[in-house]
Structure 1
Amino acid sequence: MSGSESPHGGPGDFPLPHETRNAQSQSGSQELLRGVWELIERDNGAGDRADVLLEAILAVSSELELDTTLRRIVQAATGVVGAKYGALGVLNPDGDGLAEFIYEGIDEETRHRIGELPRGRGLLGLLIDHPEPVRLTELSRHPQSVGFPASHPRMRSFLGVPIRLRDKVFGNLYLTEKVGGDAFTEADETMVRALAAAAGIAVENARLYERARLRQRWQEATSEIRAALLAATDPAEVLDLIANRAHEISHADRTLLALPQDPDLPPEEVDRLSVSVSIGSLGSGLVGRDLPVTASTCGAVFRDRVPRQVNRLDLGDDAGAFGPSLILPLRSSPETVSGVLVVARNPRATSFDAEQLRLVAGFTDQAALALRLADDQHRLRELEILGDRDRIARDLHDHVIQRLFAIGLSLRNTQGLVTDHEVGQRLSTTTAELQQVVNDIRDTIFDLRNSARHGSELRTRVNELVSESIAETELEAKVRMTGPLSAIPDKLAEQAEAVIREALSNTVRHADANSVSVTVSVTDELTVTVVDDGAGIPTGITRSGLDNLEQRARRAEGTMETTPLPGGGTRLNWSAPLPRPNS
């Protein structure tokens, strides 16, 4: 059937039927019934064909799976009129082409030899532009037909009828090559139009069923995520599950989750999103890619918190372009956004429809809310642990240490009353050991009270250091801190502060910059990155400051490097590994 396509659209010069009928309307249905009844009265053999039509309508209407329903419609249509070949072209969401093409009568080997399936141009597109029945004795004579591709079966007679859902065309039935070589008759057209009316109702029922089942799958996925969040020690562990479920249910080729590098930064201050999760076959190497907020579709969705549906999404030259995509904000409330979810298909795939956008957006909002609640519960548990630590520290200080101190004083007093030298020596040793226990308990109290505060104290010190360094300048500074700051030992934290102080001093004195950013990130190593937009490192100045930073890096078994930026400015990167837990 693809041979009936032409690169040029339009109705041509062939006359079309005089009347356009809505098969779903009451008057149209009555007219079709009247036509079938008149056909039975006029033709003695038409009663048998009416039975065939009735069986076909029942077969089409008995199925709820949409794909199976479409296949049965084509099979029923070819059987009702005795056509050798049949097809159903489903319109795309824009209504200007075919999104699906379900065919009957051509085997798979021939199908592969023919090549690409029709897209809805030429004679097949005639019904798209003018949704009215078309009946031809010789389709090759129609001005819209340009012949057939190689290996395509010969087709002469043609009957095309639109299938409507209420007042909107869903697709078109194409029937060719009536068995026996005859042309399709007016009776054939009447029968197929009646079948198309029933098919429209069957398709609508199947789509309603499919949507209900799809909603159920999204709800089940949301429940699964909530259960996983309850069991997870860290809410971030469930991000992969969110992306996987969205990928599976939406039939995507690539699904991404992009989050701010610093989750504690207010959304209006976020200027970059980082791809944290990437699933699927389309595109590769996307995890860790930065997406600018000010110059990307993902950033626009993050900023205005409004879901978007696009036909093409580009994440950069080396990432390649995606086809139809949904970009959805992770909104736990109308004012709060924690990232974006991207669901993308390949460039030639079918577009998402408005219902899919609504369902995925609802799932994303529910997932974001569950993440937010889980994170709040996680922090609440941390506060409870901190409270328990403070209580234990107070009890140790107020009760245990005081009692041990009293016991130690008692032992000393007893030692003064003992005349035996050996016993006195043992009491002295016991008193010293008891004092050591008191010291150990005091160290434990200090650790209990300060281990949890360490990360927040380092964050405060870095912010104060940056503020002090640029206090008398017009520099605009940004500070980002990511990762478990509490895992940084005191000595390494002091090194990081010294690196930031020296780097900012160089920027203020030599760079002639307008802005500077300081990033402290913790993974398996501590990384300090200072970037300015100044004139770069001047030639002819002493490198004592940079040499000091290199020496600090070597002492910490790390590295330090400075890199000039293409648009002007300098990037300083200083990193050192965190000590292993058993070291």
Structure 2
Amino acid sequence: MFLGGKGSAVSVEKVVEKAEKTPPSVRSTLSQLRLRELLREVQDSLEQMADVRDHLDGLLEAMLAVSSGLELDTTLRRIVQAAIELVDCRYGALGVLDADGAGLAQFVYEGIDEQARDEIGALPTGHGLLGLLIEQPKPLRLDELSHHPASSGFPANHPPMHSFLGVPVRVRDEVFGNLYLTEKTGGPFTDDDEVIVQALAAAAGIAVENARLFEEARQQQRWQEATSEVRAELLATADPGDVLSLIAHRVLTLTGSDYAFLAHPEDPELPAGEVSTLVVSACTGLRGGTLDGRAIPIDGSTCGAAYREATPKIADRLVYDVSAGLDEEFGPAMALPLRASADSVSGVLVAVRRPGREPFRRSALSLAASFADQAAIALKRAEDQRRLYEFEVLEDRDRIARDLHDQVVQRLFAHGLRLQSAKARTRVPEVQRRLGELIEDVQSIVSEIRTAVFDLHGGLQGSTGLRKRLGEIIAEITGETALQTTVRMAGPIGVLSPGLGEHAEAVIREALSNVVRHARASTVTVNVYVGDMVTIDVTDDGVGIPETVARSGLHNLSRRAADAGGVCTVDNADGGGTRISWTAPLN
């Protein structure tokens, strides 16, 4: 049997014979040296095992710390803190990639205080060595980072950094960002540090995914709560404008925008293909001024494209500057069509951020678009319910009008005829006078009922509103006086245009004000009649209008009559007093 190498061989017997000839003291010394060497090796191995155990314990603690929360921002900061403690370095950061994966959208750092942060200036955006890690997402370990060709140096007031370790953080095989560590205590980063940080990055990816899923679930809950709030508001309020403002405000809050507005077709009855202009109906977020009433062309605008194509749009800037003339400036925007159905778009909901802010992410588009669709459906249902209610009211009014005309008016006519017959048969003057007054009252009642029938047929927006306003004006001016007031209104007052209705209100207010201030009258009669002409007659039994009184108010009445194509006359009333007659053509 031989032991040897390189062509030589030594017999075992000769080795044993040589050892037997060695003095005992030398053999003892050699044995002790070998034992000490073995003990040192065992000790080194134990120390290495202890270091590995400590590293594993530290890694386990770091993983537990990283995965202990569900808030994304908090989780990112915990990842950086755990990495710093794990490899014993001074500075650490985590750069989150933007939506395109070409730069950094967020930079979470540790080890630099706020004063130093302010002195350094803007945070990194993904250039130089950080950009290399974005382009080539794999571990990078350097003893001196300034020697690397991709290093672009540091800005002024930046603390010196030498050793460097960068590791990508992946979420479901997609690079979420990169973990950067610098200035390891006691020398450069080691292979063990790289392995440990890679393991931490893998755990960090799972923690980030969990935090993302939690944030998405919470966002979905917020959008659902906003949708429920809009529906509840539609049921509780009669003013759609309040609901539109609520929708704009909720979108502004949930998308992290600075401004939000809604725009609807200028003529809502037109088919979507024929709409050429959108008009802003509600806005929020502006510090001064408003967008309400501003027109947005369908052609050549981001809002118009979202409306016509019925597709949500994200843009770095709105095409067609709807903020012209305001102190505000618009940047990234998201335009959402209000789709009540697949083929029905009632408007657009737009969220806007200031210039320089992060663009809207595609991932947020689906939730926002779903909210816009739900809001459109809720608005459509509320409009349908309102129209159904109006139809029911109109149907009920038609029934009442028929009953009044076919029953009440006919019975009054019969009573009037009987009164006229009784008046013709009596020869007592006092009885004839009283019967004559009753006949006039019946005629007046019939006239008022006919006017009510006109009002009932006039729809919800008919003459009832104008009649009510005129009555309120008369009560407001004469209510605190001793005047005995008689008011008669006849004819289809509901056909008056808004402008003519405004004239009527102003004429009655001015004429009654003259009676109260100057006439010293005890009675005043107001007649409003609508036929081919609108006639307003105000008669009092006072002393008339003195010559010394300024006639600016009467001049105003004449000017209003002339503007409406009519005339205004002021005459002495029969038996004393003043009669103001104001007439204007209905059309």
State how 1:329-348 maps to structure 2 within 5 Å.
329-348=337-356
How far does residue 122 in structure 1 lie from its aligned partner after superposition? Answer: 0.5
**Larger Rg: 1 or 2?**
2
Aligned to 2:378: 370
Equivalent of residue 400 in structure 1, options 408, 411, 420: 408
Aligned to 1:234: 239
Aligned to 2:334: 326
Aligned to 2:188: 183
State how 1:138-537 maps to structure 2 within 5 Å.
138-180=144-186, 182-280=187-285, 285-316=290-321, 322-450=330-458, 452=460, 488-489=497-498, 491=500
Aligned to 2:104: 98
Bigger mean CA offset, 233-242 vs 62-71: 233-242
Letter in 2 for 1:194: A
Distance 1:339 1:346 in 2: 23
How far does residue 351 in structure 1 lie from its aligned partner after superposition? Answer: 2.6
Residues 272-291 of structure 1, C-alpha deviation per residue, up to 9 Å, x if partnerless? 11222222259964333221
Letter in 2 for 1:266: P
How far does residue 236 in structure 1 lie from its aligned partner after superposition? Answer: 3.3
How far does residue 327 in structure 1 lie from its aligned partner after superposition? Answer: 1.1
Aligned to 2:126: 120
Distance 1:109 1:308 in 2: 41
Distance 1:373 1:91 in 2: 42
Aligned 8 A contact 1:40 1:50 in 2: no
Distance 1:268 1:170 in 2: 43
Distance 1:420 1:486 in 2: 45
Residues 473-527 of structure 1, C-alpha deviation per residue, up to 9 Å, x if partnerless? xxxxxxxxxxxx9773484799xxxxxxxxxxxxxxxxxxxxxxxxxxxxxxxxx
Aligned 8 A contact 2:91 2:183 in 1: yes
Distance 1:194 1:40 in 2: 23
How far does residue 416 in structure 1 lie from its aligned partner after superposition? Answer: 3.6
Counterparts in 2 of 1:487 and 1:439: CA distance versus 1, 3 Å: closer
Distance 2:439 2:287 in 1: 72
Counterparts in 2 of 1:74 and 1:331: CA distance versus 1, 3 Å: same
Letter in 1 for 2:253: E
How far does residue 40 in structure 1 lie from its aligned partner after superposition? Answer: 9.8
Q: Structure 2-normalised TM-score?
A: 0.70
Q: Secondary structure at the match of 1:409?
A: helix
Residues 349-375 of structure 1, C-alpha deviation per residue, up to 9 Å, x if partnerless? 223222210000000000001001101
Distance 2:58 2:363 in 1: 36
How far does residue 248 in structure 1 lie from its aligned partner after superposition? Answer: 0.2
Q: Structure 1-normalised TM-score?
A: 0.70
Q: Secondary structure at the match of 2:50?
A: coil
Q: Which runs of 5+ in 1 are unaligned?
A: 1-38, 456-484, 495-550, 558-583
Aligned 8 A contact 2:500 2:564 in 1: no
How far does residue 175 in structure 1 lie from its aligned partner after superposition? Answer: 0.5
Letter in 2 for 1:62: S
How far does residue 44 in structure 1 lie from its aligned partner after superposition? Answer: 2.9
Bigger mean CA offset, 73-82 vs 232-241: 232-241
Aligned 8 A contact 2:76 2:108 in 1: yes
Aligned 8 A contact 1:135 1:184 in 2: yes
Aligned to 1:88: 94
The alignment's C-alpha RMSD in Å is 2.7
Letter in 2 for 1:442: R
Distance 2:114 2:286 in 1: 26
Letter in 2 for 1:146: S
How far does residue 321 in structure 1 lie from its aligned partner after superposition? Answer: 6.0
Aligned 8 A contact 2:300 2:320 in 1: no
Equivalent of residue 65 in structure 1, options 66, 71, 75: 71
Distance 1:553 1:177 in 2: 89
Distance 1:98 1:326 in 2: 22
How far does residue 418 in structure 1 lie from its aligned partner after superposition? Answer: 3.2
How far does residue 127 in structure 1 lie from its aligned partner after superposition? Answer: 1.0
Counterparts in 2 of 1:554 and 1:399: CA distance versus 1, 3 Å: closer
Aligned to 1:26: none
Letter in 1 for 2:375: A
Q: Which runs of 5+ in 2 are unaligned?
A: 1-44, 464-493, 504-558, 566-587
Aligned 8 A contact 1:134 1:159 in 2: yes
Distance 2:227 2:259 in 1: 20
Letter in 1 for 2:414: A
Letter in 2 for 1:403: R
Percentage identity across paired residues of the two chains: 55
How far does residue 556 in structure 1 lie from its aligned partner after superposition? Answer: 4.9
Q: Secondary structure at the match of 1:263?
A: coil
Q: Secondary structure at the match of 1:313?
A: coil
How far does residue 396 in structure 1 lie from its aligned partner after superposition? Answer: 1.1
Residues 204-237 of structure 1, C-alpha deviation per residue, up to 9 Å, x if partnerless? 0000000000001000000000000111213333
Distance 2:188 2:417 in 1: 118
Residues 547-573 of structure 1, C-alpha deviation per residue, up to 9 Å, x if partnerless? xxxx9997159xxxxxxxxxxxxxxxx
Residues 278-335 of structure 1, C-alpha deviation per residue, up to 9 Å, x if partnerless? 2225996433322110111111111111111223324326567633321110110111
Structure 1 runs, 4 residues or longer, greater than 6 Å off? 551-554
Q: Secondary structure at the match of 2:109?
A: strand
Aligned 8 A contact 1:293 1:299 in 2: yes
Aligned 8 A contact 2:390 2:460 in 1: no
How far does residue 43 in structure 1 lie from its aligned partner after superposition? Answer: 4.2
Counterparts in 2 of 1:490 and 1:104: CA distance versus 1, 3 Å: closer
Aligned to 1:56: 62
